[in-house]
Structure 1
């Protein structure tokens, strides 16, 4: 599995600021709707439900919200770069400005976990996140994200 298999170019956005985690999830859901046709309201609810189990802010300004949804047939992702970091309740208490949301079918099983591990591994690299933070263009961000595996594999 590669990020290019789960992330469309139209699912990458730069957002000035989000006033709350819920508002950020609404933005993510709107992107998921326009890129993949996901119904925004159940998408927000699924993200909030998952977040109620524990924050998905993994540290160093990165959050990996994820949810299982009915009505989709494969794992898909949405990447959002926030110009103004948001208090996300992350494990290190640092505000979040890099968000990669994943959505999986209800019965995805191991595919959901593989996608989550791939994105987590990719965004764990501080130099990689620095490169993402330095590029405010969605097209460039998509290229950086989708070319990351081929560089790492070389």
Structure 2
């Protein structure tokens, strides 16, 4: 599955104003729930929070990749946001986070989940990609940088 099949423009937001990890996860849940029939905002939030309790998904260098599995989800859904101001995410390097890629997948697709996480991590491991994402000033620009062929992230 390609990232452009799971990340849509309406789930891509630049300069989000949330001031905490919890609020950010709530915002992400609000973006994901309408994309998944029969899944509530609370279901999404609980899945993300359960995963965070296992250990922070803040992977360092200002990046977090929160993710979770949903029993009733019929398809994977992704969210990409940058923060107006970095938030504490309990990242492994103790640095605040300003780039977040969230992924929610059906519970019965663990291999796809891992492949997608690996692809996202590969892109976000590129300094030029992160630099370009941080410079984006609109949702469209953020979306294009992350997904378009020939951009800093591809």
TM-score by length of 2: 0.91
Secondary structure in 2 aligned to 1:131?
Answer: helix
For the 8 Å contact 2:64–2:99, the answer to whether it is kept is yes
**Contact in 1 for aligned 2:36/2:75 (Cα 8 Å):** no
Q: Given that residues 15 and 137 in structure 2 are in contact (C-alpha distance below 8 angstroms), is that contact kept between their aligned partners in structure 1?
A: no
Aligned-residue RMSD, C-alpha? 1.8
Residues matched between the structures, number: 152
Cα deviations by residue, 1:112-151 (Å, 9 ceiling, x for unpaired): 0011001011111111000000012001111111115x66
What corresponds to 1:72 in structure 2? 73
Q: Spell out, residue by residue over 1:4-29, the C-alpha distance to the aligned partner (whole angstroms, 9 max, x if none).
A: 12101111012443222111100101
CA contact (8 A) 1:75 1:115 kept: no
Per-residue deviation, residues 45-85 of structure 1 (Å, max 9, x unmatched)? 11011000000000110000000012222222011110100
Aligned pairs (5 A) from 1:68-107: 68-107=69-108
Distance 1:16 1:10, change over 3 A: closer
Q: Residue 80 of structure 1 contacts residue 100 of structure 1 at CA under 8 Å; is this kept in 2?
A: yes
Does 2:31 match 1:31?
yes
Q: How does the TM-score come out when normalised to structure 1?
A: 0.91
Q: In the superposition, relative to structure 1, how do residues 146 and 15 fare at CA in structure 2: closer, same or farther (>3 Å)?
A: same
Alignment of 1:130-141 (within 5 A): 130-141=131-142
- Partner secondary structure for residue 24 of structure 1: helix
On the 8 A contact 1:14/1:80 being kept in 2, the answer is yes
Q: Structure 1 regions of 5+ residues with no counterpart?
A: none
Q: Is the 8 A contact 1:28 1:101 kept in 2?
A: yes
Where structure 2 has 5 or more consecutive residues not aligned to the other structure, the ranges are: none
Tell me the distance in 1 between the aligned counterparts of 2:70 and 2:102.
Answer: 13
Moved >6 Å (runs of 4+):
none
CA distance in 1, matches of 2:112, 2:95: 29
Q: What residue number does 2:111 align with?
A: 110
